[in-house]
Amino acid sequence: MIIVDDKQVEALEARRLAEEQEQEPPPTYASLHHGGVVLEQAPPPPISVRSAAALTVSSSPTLNSNASSPSISSPDGANANGRNIKRVNHLAITRTHASIKESVLVDPSLFVPVFLRPPLLPGETEESRRNLRIEAVHGNVWADIRVVGVGFGEGDRMFRGLGGSSNSTVVGDADDEEDDDDGSETVIGAPVKRERKGKRVFMQLKSTHGGIQAKIHGPPNRHPVVLHASATHGDIKLYLPRSFHGPVIIAHKHGLVRFSDALAQELTTFGEVDGIRRCFLGDFSVWAKQVEKQKQRNKEKEKEDKAKDNPSSNAGSGSSSTPSSPVSPSFKDPATLFGFSKDKSNKVHKKRSMPTTSVAEWANNRSSGESNGRSMLEEVAEQSGLGAESGWTGDELLVEVRHANVKLQFCDDAAQTPVKSRPTTFLNRIFGF
């Protein structure tokens, strides 16, 4: 047995501490970072690993970064975290016994060969083909949908900080060539002149025995979207962009309809009859201005047609011609869309024939196969003029649920923003369910 002297052990420990104190201190954090990159030659001491990791994470850009400089995602689908999402058009995803979770970048101007396009639905044509269709039977639908900006296919960069020209002009459809409104807007500090609106993106989200949760967003000059979301036995929760501007029609049978506080302030409700709620999100006066302009154009066109076909205009000619029929206006009055009509005295009154069937009758007809595969909202949209005949070229939202709830809010709403609803059933009012 060897007995070690305690004094000798203390002397060895004191010598070791003295040698450690004579060594140089570890390098500073400033020397470890050069241009936002951590140098591997001089790793930090063990006691500061947590601090070095925090600095490394903060130097990398993220989508949810709260730094002073905003994170910008490129228009070609490369977001701030480096993930590249390819553009798609006429995309269809259907599953029977599985859920669907997709992140897509929709570009309506992207050309897709006919042989690569999905099969057409009953009653669908190549002209009315949807740009995006996601359907699940026994599963949920999660979709993160981003819409490209107008003029992206013509080289518009949308963001001036990514190589775009500062005086580029957004080009869209020729339907609004005569519109003299000033459509200038600011995109990250640079003015963009919007001469005409782009193509509308038609999307359909459907689930039979599952729910739907979708987020629609895009740059400030995105294409208008027309979204039809339908679910039978599942809730629908939609995150709309703050720039959404257009009619919102919600048909529900058993369930609640909820809006966030921020969205409710921008929403105008025109009524709820037979389970169909008709609303408008944004400034409704814009639609009225478009209608007045189109009415004036129709009057001028009607005068020109009458002048051409009027027999009195041909001097010395005894031939008579049949007067032309009045030109049917392509823009319908906004009151017609929301279930109102005007008589000869120009008084607005409620249309009793709109809709032709209630939610219960429509459900019975659909179960018996009498609806020919059409949804109630499609029938309502056709009767009310919603769509191409309504004259509205902006955003549209059609939501259809039977035994579930609906929640609508903006994409940039706070995480804890309450989505309020009014109890409708007796048990809800008594017990607060």
> pLDDT tens for residues 249-276?
999 888 899 999 999 999 999 999 888 9
| Pairing verdict, β 141-147 and 225-231 | unpaired
Residue 424 inside a domain? The answer is no
Residue 67 has pLDDT above 50, yes or no: no
**Residue 91 lies in domain:** 83-117+128-149+199-298+390-413
Residue 177 has pLDDT above 50, yes or no: no
Backbone region of residue 90 per phi and psi (left: phi > 0; alpha: psi in -120 to 50; beta: other values): left
Residue 2 inside a domain? The answer is no
CA distances from residue 93 to 90, 121, 215 in whole angstroms, order as listed: 10, 13, 17
Of the candidates 192, 242, 183, 185, the one whose C-alpha atom is nearest the C-alpha of residue 217 is: 242
pLDDT higher for 356 or 209?
209
Residue 201 has pLDDT above 70, yes or no: yes
Amino acid present at 46:
P
Residue 384 inside a domain? The answer is no
Scan for tokens 């570009």, then name that residue: 107
Evaluate whether 334 touches 288 at the Cβ level (below 8 Å): yes
Residue 220 inside a domain? The answer is yes
Which residues fall within 8 angstroms of residue 233, CB to CB, at 6 or more apart? 208, 209, 210, 402, 403, 404
CA distances from residue 46 to 22, 26, 38, 51 in whole angstroms, order as listed: 19, 11, 15, 10
Exposure string of 288-303, with b = 16+ CB inside 10 Å and e = fewer, is eebbebbeeebeeeee
Mean residue pLDDT of the chain comes to: 67
Residue 326 has pLDDT above 70, yes or no: no
- The secondary structure of 72-98 as a DSSP string is ---TTSB-TTS-B--EESSEEEEESSS
- The secondary structure of 269-281 as a DSSP string is EEEEETTEEEEEE
Residue 11 inside a domain? The answer is no
What's the pTM? 0.57
Residue 253 inside a domain? The answer is yes
Q: If DSSP codes are grouped into helix, strand and coil, which group holds residue 322?
A: coil
Rounded to an integer, what distance in angstroms lies between the CA atom of residue 234 and that of residue 86? Answer: 30
Evaluate whether 222 touches 200 at the Cβ level (below 8 Å): no
Residue 206 inside a domain? The answer is yes
C-alpha torsion 252→258→263→268, nearest 10: 50
Residue 373 inside a domain? The answer is no
pLDDT number for residue 80: 40
Number of domains in the chain: 1
